[in-house]
Amino acid sequence: MKYEILGDTLPVVVCHLDDGESMINEGGSMSWMSPNMHMETSSNGGVGKALGRMFAGEKIFQNIYTAQGGTGLIAFASSFPGSIKPFEITPGRELIFQKSAFLAGESGVQLSVHFNKKLGAGLFGGEGFILQKVSGSGIVFAEFDGHVVEYDLQPGQQILVDTGHLAAMDASCAMDIQTVKGVKNVLFGGEGLFLTTITGPGHVWLQTMPLSNVAGVLRPYMATSN
């Protein structure tokens, strides 16, 4: 499979498949394709894996597109202004995505729910509590909100992230939640009560414009218009 990512703020990934190659995606992200792409809707792994994908922010069923009778073309577009990033998944390298980040992937890629093991993150992490775990083998495409900034954390090195800005991280990284220190900071700082702590080793991808933040900014104007 060969691919190209086109566009800046509203990108699309165009995949070129050899005869017999397949791609999986969540329903709704396919934008255009050649006539010889055959679609099959499947739970792709049984009820257990389908329910796991649902908890991770995806739909129960996935679409499997296969090129038949020659090379095929299929495109998957982002649903929000931001970035599409490709990742190479191998049995020795698993990734953790934010909820609903999965866009499409080769047929050897497996998507499941990832629960944070830390109690603090579970109670107060909000969207950060339930994440997507991507395993298997193949290329996967994820869509992130806004631009993406990357950091490579050494063992024990940490970065504090405002809730919602974590886009992805290597499975080797650990995540926890810590409270903002100081009563004045909590009451008047306007940054919320909690911060997400990411601890290395591993690579971290951060997004600049979480959809939840955009919704919060627009909410007062929507209420006024009603």
The total of structural domains in the chain comes to: 1
Q: What is the CATH number of the domain that holds 217?
A: 3.60.160.10
Spatial strand order in the sheet of 130-136: 109-115, 130-136, 95-97, 166-170, 202-207, 148-153
Full domain range(s) for residue 173: 2-225
**Token digits of residue 218:** 């627009």
Percent of the chain with pLDDT over 70: 72
What is the full per-residue pLDDT of the chain (226 aa) written as tens digits? 999 999 988 999 999 999 999 999 977 789 999 999 999 987 655 444 544 444 444 556 789 999 999 999 999 999 889 999 999 999 989 999 988 899 999 999 988 887 665 544 444 444 446 788 999 999 999 999 999 999 999 999 999 998 789 999 999 999 887 766 544 444 444 455 678 899 999 999 999 988 766 665 666 666 555 5
Model-level pTM? 0.81
Residue 130, pLDDT score? 74
Contacts 24+ apart (CB under 8 A), 121-127: 121/175, 121/176, 121/177, 121/196, 123/177, 124/177, 124/193, 124/194, 125/163, 125/175, 125/177, 125/194, 125/196, 126/163, 126/164, 127/98, 127/99, 127/163, 127/164, 127/212
